[in-house]
A = this chain, B = another copy of it.
């Protein structure tokens, strides 16, 4: 037991393989992870995991996201298959966003990471304080 995760080496090999062949963009892990590792994606996924929300509701729920980035992030999540967008022909029309099965499936591991974050944010904040105290 040295803390190393089994099977990791093989995954890194996939990554390294792309290295020489200029196929880095094809690395499956990077391709998928980078779609969700940006400032707003995981936050919106977390919100939609609770229940479906409408555009304006999400905007009020996450007040420091700009309307532009909310539109764009939801669009990207929809394109990657995590989010479903349904338009209701009310007046004015309303749009509801919800997680797809793929989105709910992905939220499993993401939620694990969030639980870790909640449990360990004290340690992280302390690490920052220690680091900032040094010159």
Contact = CB atoms under 8 A, between A and B. Distances in A.
A24 to B, nearest CB: 6
Given A81-B124, A113-B109, A49 B4 contact: yes
A124 B104 CA distance: 13
Contacts of A126: 81
Interface of A: 3-5, 8-9, 11-12, 15-16, 19, 24, 28-39, 41-43, 46-47, 49-51, 60-61, 63-64, 78-81, 102, 104-118, 120-121, 123-128, 130-132
B5 A49 contact: yes
Contacts of A35: 124
Contact of A46 (B8, B38, B50): B8
